[in-house]
Amino acid sequence: MGSLRNPIGPLPSSIYWRRRAVAVVIVALLALLAVWAFSLGGGDGDDRGDSGRGGPDGQGPTDSITPGPTTSEPPNDDRPGGRDEVDGGAGSGGGGDDEGGGDEKDDGGGGGSEGGADGGALSGSGGNVTGGDAMPAGDSLPVCAPGAVEVTLTSVKNDYAPDETPRFKLTVKNGGGDDCRIDLGRTATVLTISDTDDGGGDQVWSSADCPPSRAAAYVQVPAKGSTVQTLEWNRKASEPECGKAPSGAVKAGTYLAKIEVEGLPAKQVSLSLTKD
């Protein structure tokens, strides 16, 4: 014990005490490091254990990301501007509402498709196709045989006041058992108006004088049925090759309207333009 209190050696005792103090400090530091290392190692093990216990058989984490609420809605099937709807009666018969025919207010005239009005018998200078149930026909239909069809022309009214436009019904009847097509274009079908008051029957207007087109305009004629077009004349005169005709309406009197369809007998009907 005496050696501990009074160190023995060649050096002064104060040096030995300093050495002992340093050794004690080192031992204390080592002890603190050991405690800190032990506590750190135990915490990591617990964390790993908790993670291992979360998954099946302790294999890896099982925590997953839970998606939040979604705000998506079912896609809208309706396209902008509304749904596309097909009218079962459009373009056929009197129930169709094709362009130009559905809203037409015609004395005795049916609505529906204009059926080849572009380039038809009366479209263009001084005349027009205003309605009817005629439907355009494709090349798949055979051309109507002359012996299977016949045409008739009637005037909507017998007498027309000065403010009224003369209108006619062109009817094509098919007596055959199959649908067929007939050309009502300018080169195949011609309507003429003649003045009969002078006795000579002078022609005053013709759909062939200034046609906007000479292309064919086929329309369908159903088997054992008929197709109708409503035609009108604007009461003016015309000249061949789009020549300059007298301006204004023709005079009052009795006139004869005649329809000529290529390959078929011509048909005609009279009408009267009354005075004021």
Q: What is the pLDDT of residue 69?
A: 44
Half-sphere exposure for 89 (CA within 13 Å, toward CB): 10
Q: What is the pLDDT of residue 132?
A: 56
Distance of CA 192 to the CA centre of its chain: 40
* 168 phi, psi to nearest 5 deg: -135, 155
Q: What is the pLDDT of residue 37?
A: 87
- Is residue 36 domain-shared with residue 99, that is, in the same domain? no
Whether residue 83 lies inside any domain: the answer is no
- Is residue 113 domain-shared with residue 38, that is, in the same domain? no
Could you tell me which of 168, 124, 146, 117 has the C-alpha nearest to residue 262?
Answer: 146
Whether residue 66 lies inside any domain: the answer is no
Show the low-confidence residues of the chain (pLDDT under 50).
48-121, 124
- Count of domains for the chain: 2
CATH number of the domain within which 196 lies = 2.60.40.10
- Is residue 161 domain-shared with residue 239, that is, in the same domain? yes
Whether residue 24 lies inside any domain: the answer is yes
* Cβ within 8 Å of residue 145, ≥6 positions away: 176, 180
- In the β-sheet with 253-261, what is the strand arrangement from edge to edge? 159-160, 267-273, 253-261, 189-195, 202-206
Q: What is the pLDDT of residue 5?
A: 60
- Is residue 245 domain-shared with residue 143, that is, in the same domain? yes
- Is residue 147 domain-shared with residue 54, that is, in the same domain? no
Residue pair 269/239 in contact (Cβ under 8 Å)? The answer is no
Q: What is the pLDDT of residue 41?
A: 72
Q: Is 56 left (phi over 0), alpha (psi -120 to 50) or beta?
A: beta
Whether residue 200 lies inside any domain: the answer is yes
Whether residue 65 lies inside any domain: the answer is no
Could you tell me which of 108, 159, 106, 149 has the C-alpha nearest to residue 128?
Answer: 106
- Is residue 161 domain-shared with residue 38, that is, in the same domain? no
What range defines the domain where residue 266 resides?
93-273
Q: What is the pLDDT of residue 62?
A: 43
- List pLDDT tens digits, range 20-35: 889 899 999 999 988 8
Whether residue 67 lies inside any domain: the answer is no
